[in-house]
């Protein structure tokens, strides 16, 4: 199978570092810092979208300044203020060993995404990374999924995308591949339900078992 993975909220628990960077940025700009639950909901979307929602009376220059302040702290400290969710290493190792094609699809800029994979020593499990460049403000998850699919050779029935936010599920559904929701991430149950995933998984281990069950069914039909 071709397996697409979101990063923040699916593989990594990055909320602490991202929330602190957002709070730092808001204080630096002299704006009120939203409560933690509000900041937590900002994990996942592109920064330009996040600051457009957080800043008051902002224009393009304000958003660019906010992104610059955020990234200064993120590169120095925030990127390390995260951890892998339980079972991620074991799951990726199992799927990689089973010769599935694992690909990372994230709106986090590519240099950061690759650094995180190396930081947690899981880069070798992935065949490719699909992510925007640092100066990209417009690429969406749907565009990235389309790019990942364009270079693959699998049939749609053998492709799955797992992510924790609505945009992950919606992107998968737009391209008619299996849309798996990671219930351990940052979306509310209402957000996940509204996006209409094909299936909700509560642990990465559960997701791997589902993939293995598909493998077993395919072999029995050969």
CATH of the domain at 201: 3.40.50.1000
DSSP category for residue 131:
-
98 and 169 both lie in a single domain: yes
Total residues found in the chain within this entry? 222
Same domain, 114 and 186: yes
pLDDT confidence band for 42 (50 / 70 / 90): very high
Residues 197 and 126 in one domain: yes
Q: Which of 20, 136, 138, 16 is nearest to 69 (CA)?
A: 20
Q: Which distant-in-sequence residues (6+ apart) come within 8 Å of 35 by Cβ?
A: none
Q: For residues 72 and 122, what is the distance between their CA atoms, to the nearest angstrom?
A: 25
Identify whether the C-beta of residue 54 lies closer than 8 Å to the C-beta of residue 46: no
The percentage of residues in the chain with a pLDDT greater than 70, rounded to a whole number, is 97
Please tell me the distance from the alpha carbon of residue 28 to that of residue 26, in angstroms, as a whole number.
Answer: 5
Judge if 122 and 201 occupy the same domain.
Answer: yes
Domain end, chosen from 35, 63, 80, is at 80
pLDDT tens track for 118-154: 999 999 999 999 999 999 988 899 999 999 999 778 9
Q: What is the pLDDT of residues 19-33, one digit of tens each?
A: 999 999 999 999 999
Single out the residue in 44, 61, 80 at which a domain terminates.
80
Distance of alpha carbon 3 from alpha carbon 105, whole angstroms: 10
Q: Which of 51-65, 99-113, 204-218 has the lowest mean pLDDT?
A: 204-218
Q: Are residues 6 and 21 in the same domain?
A: no
Q: What is the pLDDT of residue 44?
A: 86
Predicted confidence at residue 93, as pLDDT, reads: 98
**DSSP state, residue 86:** T
Higher pLDDT, 137 or 101: 101
Range of weakest confidence among 24-33, 42-51, 198-207: 42-51
Contact between 104 and 88 (Cβ < 8 Å): no
* Local confidence band at 208 (pLDDT 50, 70, 90 cut-offs): very high
Q: Is 5 helix (H, G, I), strand (E, B) or coil?
A: strand
pLDDT at 221 (0 to 100): 60
- Rounded distance, CA 117 to CA 132, Å? 16
CB-based burial of residue 192 (10 Å sphere; 0-12 exposed, 13-18 middle, 19+ buried)?
A: buried
Q: Which helix (H) or strand (E) holds 178?
A: strand 178-182
Same domain flag for 42 and 99 = no
110 vs 151, which has greater pLDDT?
110
pLDDT of residue 220: 57
48 in the same domain as 120: no
Count the domains in the chain: 2
Burial (CB count within 10 angstroms: exposed 0-12, middle 13-18, buried 19+), residue 116: buried
Please indicate, yes or no, whether residues 115 and 31 belong to a single structural domain of this protein.
no
Q: At what angle do helices 60-76 and 47-54 cross, to 10 degrees?
A: 120
First to last CA, the chain: 16
User: What share of the chain has pLDDT > 90, as a percent?
Assistant: 88
214 with 159, same domain: the answer is: yes
Q: What is the pLDDT of residues 54-75, one digit of tens each?
A: 998 889 999 999 999 999 999 9
The residue range of the domain holding 213 is: 2-13+83-220
Mean pLDDT for 146-171 is 94
For residues 222 and 207, give the distance between their C-alpha atoms in angstroms, rounded to a whole number.
23
Q: Based on the domain organization, do 74 and 152 belong to the same domain?
A: no
Residues 186 and 165 in one domain: yes
* Residue finishing a domain among 32, 62, 80: 80
Mean pLDDT of all residues belonging to the chain: 94
CATH of the domain at 24: 1.10.150.240
pLDDT beyond 80 at 219: no
Answer yes or no: do 72 and 99 share one domain. Answer: no
Paired tokens of 193: 């339900």
């Amino acid at each position: 199978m071709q397996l697409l993975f979101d990063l923040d909220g699916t593989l990594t628990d990055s909320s602490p570092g991202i929330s602190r960077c957002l709070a730092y940025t808001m204080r630096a700009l002299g704006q009120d810092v939203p409560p933690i639950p509000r900041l937590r909901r900002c994990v996942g979307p592109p920064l330009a979208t996040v600051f457009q929602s957080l800043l008051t009376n902002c224009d393009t220059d304000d958003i660019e300044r906010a992104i610059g302040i955020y990234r200064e702290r993120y590169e120095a400290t925030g990127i390390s203020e995260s951890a892998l969710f339980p079972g991620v290493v074991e799951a990726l190792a199992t799927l990689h060993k089973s010769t599935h094609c694992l690909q990372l699809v994230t709106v986090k800029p590519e240099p950061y995404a690759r650094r995180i994979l190396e930081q947690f020593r899981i880069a070798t499990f992935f065949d490719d990374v699909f992510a925007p460049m640092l100066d990209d403000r417009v690429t969406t998850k749907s565009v990235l999924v389309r790019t990942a699919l364009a270079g693959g050779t699998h049939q749609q029935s053998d492709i799955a995308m797992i992510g924790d936010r609505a945009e992950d599920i919606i992107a998968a559904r737009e391209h008619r591949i299996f849309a798996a929701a990671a219930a351990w991430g940052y979306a509310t149950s209402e957000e996940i339900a509204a996006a209409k995933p094909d299936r909700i998984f509560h642990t990465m281990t559960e997701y791997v078992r589902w993939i293995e069950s598909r493998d077993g069914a395919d072999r029995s039909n050969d």
